[in-house]
Structure 1
Amino acid sequence: MVEALPEKGVPGEQILAELSELRAADLPTHGGRLFAYVYDPALDGLDELARQAHAISDHVNGLDPTAFPSLLAMENALVGAAARLLGGGDGTVGSVTSGGTESLILAVKAARDSRPELTTPRLVIPSTAHAAFAKAAHYLRVALDVVPVGADLRADPAAVQAAVDEDTVLVAASAPSYAHGVVDPIPELAAIAGERGVRFHVDACFGGWLLPYLRRLGAGLPAFDFTVPGVTSISVDLHKYAYAPKGVSILLHRDEALRLPQYFAYAGWPGYTMINPVISSTRSGGPIAAALATLRHIGDAGYLELAARTRGAVATLAEAVRRTGGVRLFAPPETSVVCLAADDVDVDLFVLADELAARGWHTQPQMAYGDMPATIHLTVTAAVAGTATDFGPDLAAAVTATRAAGPADVPPALLEAAGALTPEMVTPELIAGLAEGLGLGGGDFTRMAAVNSLLDVAPPALREALLTGFLSLLQRPGRATE
């Protein structure tokens, strides 16, 4: 039991031991076997360097850069590096945010606030755009127009063009998309937005720090950055393929006039005048210092080498999928994602994910969407170069075990109950009962095929309600001790 506020203080050594014990239950953040959530370059000494840099600036407050010019200098250096990497010019400006979601919310805010005369501003995105755009639209009360993608999983320029109207404040696309790792046709889409006088944002949060290096290595990827006319803003996360600790992202604008609506300012109270470039007011300088240390330590040549290792690992994993009967590549492995689907009715993708996890490979199952089947997503980092050759035999063994196990065992009563549910019917009591029936009551999340199968057949709105309720069930005091 961990008590945050004991009656008497606890010795530091005991606290650190307790934290280490808690961490032992987590998935491995290093070692090239976790294909989501973390980004590992497998560079000796980098973690310790980042920790020390973080400690130097962790109490510095980004609220007022005039009080802490060190943080201002570091932010400007990071923005400048990102701008140069992504084709920016002398007038390119940007802000450091806490992550990709914040960068996307701010890109939408800047676009919305640039058109104050509109009563119903609209955002146009392809269906493969990151869910953070929907979050931004929800928070900012911007109407969301989601358009279909083509058979190649890329945004359809004709569909985007048809969706843009006089109330559209922003068109956005991905480079690459998170789910499938493919790059949208950025030049065509930016031209459509530019012809209508609409801002165009490139969400390069996921792979934007990697794509320029892949292009230098000869990958046949389209232009996606500020060298493309019509691109007005780009987001790129440094805690992904720049391998900085979480959470640091960059939101770039082509020029200062485009960025100004991003700011929030308020002087209508007796305290200090609040001026924020990002959503947070108080911000620790620790992540920013750690990011700067990471970039300076790896350097341009280092990132090129990491990109080459990542590219090689992707090729090895993709070939393993091609050689394994029962599964197939769902999307072209052109960036840093290997996305696979079942190629046989006897292979349950959600059971396969569990079987891979049992062999030490932690993947990310993705539910069916429209005409797209359920898939397994692998985010590949440089660390995977050291483990990729082991994946093929384990994938083949996992497929064999999946065939033998058969489909996920979802209690029929739960399936019947889920079929009759609506989002409004989801209560804390119902969630607790479902969790118990699916074997989640004890907090064991190692076998999730039944859960994922149930969620896969649920309509999106019901899935949202079920997962919201389950997360709320987990996030309550005392849960870890039950």
Structure 2
Amino acid sequence: MSDTSAFPQQGRDSDDLLAELKERQNKDLNWREGRVFSYVYDAGPEAMALLKDAFNMYLTENGLDPTTFPSAMELEKDVLRMAIELMNGGEEAEGTFTSGGTESLLLSVKTARDYARENKPEISLPELLLPETAHASFFKACHYFDVKPVVIPVDPVSFTADPVAMAEAVTANTIMMVASAPSYAHGVIDPIRELGEIALKHDLLFHVDCCVGGMYLPFANELGFDTGDFDLSVPGVTQISMDFHKLGYAAKGASAILYKHGQLMRRHQYFAWSGWSGYSVINPTVMSTKSAGPVAACWAIMNKLGKQGYLDLVQKTQSASEEIRSAIADIPQLKLLGDSKMNLLAFSSDKIDVFKLAERMKKRNWYIQPQFAFGASPANIHLTISHGNLAGFREFLSDLRACVAELDTDDAQTAMVDLPEEIAALFENPSPQLFSDLAAMFGGDGTEAPENMDEVNNLLNAMPHQIRDQLITEFVNRMFST
């Protein structure tokens, strides 16, 4: 640690501090020009200004105690009523406003575990049944709550859950099934109705992960697009998660977990404790103290846009997404994965290295998201198209065609599948030194990402995911070293 104190001895001028923040922000991806196909959802400057104003109004109000800040609770109830209506929850449905999709999924798994403890006490080793395309946060929930994930391969062409395989995997220990609407990686919707029938037959809870689709699919469905069945009206579906800070264009973090039979289910996610010398704690979510800013901003944007506003956004985004899908399908070196019906898609290639393609596009100031191979899904590129991408998507397609042509001409090769022998040998006896050895091969100590990530991504892509996870953990751990 440096001898220089990290804590300032004297305060600084506000303008100076804001200027420094702005300077640091210049290092980030330029999402404001619609060149980032992930992470950021922008409904335009007027909507963004409203979000900031509403968030700041409730920046200090604490969602921990609804008796002290009842307006925060009322805003949450308003948002949840809108969400339940969108998800066709009916009169018995209840929910909770959360900080994001991960927290919603954590709470759903915790609820399923505790519901099973009360209603199926014979289960001592609870299992969660999920397709291999299910979001990583379900595995995080299993890790946190001591639930065994049972992973089922998906259809290798459509990348949707296989109802027959899911049904065959049900055991006496299964407490809940999972499906996606859509799955993040490929943007495809699992056969929710067929899976719901399995859940009913075996008396299982059934969670539909609608985090990315919750503020999109209901409007797409109303516009006549083919979304299939996905919401709480489907027999067998007992709970559903949906994010407002994605395609609801709310401020981060804003999500919800909804239960079809709210009073019966929701109490299992709560934590209460008065067995100490302080104030009584009752937490509906993982967090205790939390700013009411996100729920205020969420309430504001949903009321600002209204149903017609979201219908307009979805119509424009669907039109652009269809044009992007069609254009990618016409590029002979690329192949669309699955049959996405909405604004998420993935494409791979057996002609060029998709990780190199991501780097070429980054040099043209476009961010597209590389995804590693897993199961039947090859290494690929993911795109989430939202309103913020609409103005420049044709320029994006032009640059994509150009980068694909460059790679096909310059150094045509596909993503690495097998590790080079000298690197594979390092995995024979994995040790904490492994990460340092690999980082040194790229001329660094692993505290900063290389300027070009394609070589690193190719190595990671060829590794067993368990080792890849260890290396990524060590990298992020070093990045945050102070």
Partner Cα separation in structure 1 for residue 105 and residue 183 of structure 2: 14
Partner Cα separation in structure 2 for residue 72 and residue 79 of structure 1: 10
Residue number in structure 1 paired with 2:472: 467
What secondary structure is seen at the aligned counterpart in 1 of 2:256?
strand
The TM-score, its normalising length taken from structure 1, stands at 0.93
- Of the three residues 194, 202, 205, the one matched with 2:208 is 202
134-143 vs 315-324, greater mean Cα deviation? 315-324
- Residue 416 (structure 1) shift: 3.8
The TM-score, its normalising length taken from structure 2, stands at 0.93
**Residue 279 (structure 2) pairs with residue 272 (structure 1):** yes
- Residue 417 (structure 1) shift: 4.4
Structure 1, unmatched stretches of 5+, are 478-482
- Residue 408 (structure 1) shift: 7.9
Partner Cα separation in structure 2 for residue 213 and residue 417 of structure 1: 53
112-121 vs 175-184, greater mean Cα deviation? 112-121
Partner Cα separation in structure 1 for residue 168 and residue 443 of structure 2: 47
Partner Cα separation in structure 2 for residue 64 and residue 388 of structure 1: 45
Does the Cα contact within 8 Å between 1:410 and 1:454 map onto a contact in 2? no
Tell me: CA distance 1:452–1:407, structure 2 relative to 1, closer, same or farther (3 Å).
Answer: farther
Tell me: CA distance 1:409–1:476, structure 2 relative to 1, closer, same or farther (3 Å).
Answer: farther
**Residue 297 (structure 2) pairs with residue 290 (structure 1):** yes
Tell me: CA distance 1:240–1:161, structure 2 relative to 1, closer, same or farther (3 Å).
Answer: same
**Residue 381 (structure 2) pairs with residue 379 (structure 1):** no
- Residue 469 (structure 1) shift: 0.8
384-393 vs 171-180, greater mean Cα deviation? 384-393
Superposed, 1:2-401 pairs within 5 Å as: 5-41=7-43, 43-116=44-117, 117=121, 118-150=123-155, 151-255=157-261, 256-344=263-351, 347-401=352-406
Residue identity in the other structure for 1:458: M
- Deviation string 1:363-416 (CA, Å, 9 cap, x unpaired) is 1111111232111000110122211211222111101221244268999xx944
Does the Cα contact within 8 Å between 2:158 and 2:337 map onto a contact in 1? no
Does the Cα contact within 8 Å between 1:39 and 1:243 map onto a contact in 2? yes
Partner Cα separation in structure 2 for residue 51 and residue 100 of structure 1: 21
Tell me: CA distance 1:352–1:332, structure 2 relative to 1, closer, same or farther (3 Å).
Answer: same
- Residue 246 (structure 1) shift: 0.7
Partner Cα separation in structure 1 for residue 440 and residue 219 of structure 2: 48
Tell me: CA distance 1:402–1:297, structure 2 relative to 1, closer, same or farther (3 Å).
Answer: same
Partner Cα separation in structure 1 for residue 428 and residue 366 of structure 2: 33
Partner Cα separation in structure 1 for residue 474 and residue 298 of structure 2: 35
Partner Cα separation in structure 2 for residue 316 and residue 474 of structure 1: 39
Does the Cα contact within 8 Å between 2:354 and 2:414 map onto a contact in 1? no
395-404 vs 87-96, greater mean Cα deviation? 395-404
Tell me: CA distance 1:312–1:166, structure 2 relative to 1, closer, same or farther (3 Å).
Answer: same
Residue identity in the other structure for 1:235: S
Does the Cα contact within 8 Å between 1:423 and 1:461 map onto a contact in 2? no
Partner Cα separation in structure 1 for residue 5 and residue 37 of structure 2: 32
Residue identity in the other structure for 1:317: I
What secondary structure is seen at the aligned counterpart in 2 of 1:136?
helix
- Deviation string 1:77-122 (CA, Å, 9 cap, x unpaired) is 1111100011011221100111101100100010100111221011
Does the Cα contact within 8 Å between 1:423 and 1:462 map onto a contact in 2? no
- Of the three residues 402, 408, 432, the one matched with 1:403 is 408
Partner Cα separation in structure 2 for residue 55 and residue 333 of structure 1: 37
- Deviation string 1:255-302 (CA, Å, 9 cap, x unpaired) is 211111111112222222211110011111111111111111111100
Does the Cα contact within 8 Å between 1:421 and 1:462 map onto a contact in 2? no
Tell me: CA distance 1:451–1:90, structure 2 relative to 1, closer, same or farther (3 Å).
Answer: same
- Residue 446 (structure 1) shift: 4.3
Partner Cα separation in structure 2 for residue 297 and residue 423 of structure 1: 58
Does the Cα contact within 8 Å between 2:349 and 2:414 map onto a contact in 1? no
Partner Cα separation in structure 1 for residue 250 and residue 349 of structure 2: 34
- Deviation string 1:325-383 (CA, Å, 9 cap, x unpaired) is 21121222311112111042xx1111111111112221111111123211100011012
Residue identity in the other structure for 2:235: P
131-140 vs 145-154, greater mean Cα deviation? 145-154
Partner Cα separation in structure 2 for residue 250 and residue 439 of structure 1: 44
Residue identity in the other structure for 2:269: Q
Residue identity in the other structure for 2:297: A
Does the Cα contact within 8 Å between 2:153 and 2:375 map onto a contact in 1? no
Partner Cα separation in structure 1 for residue 72 and residue 208 of structure 2: 27
Does the Cα contact within 8 Å between 2:355 and 2:415 map onto a contact in 1? no
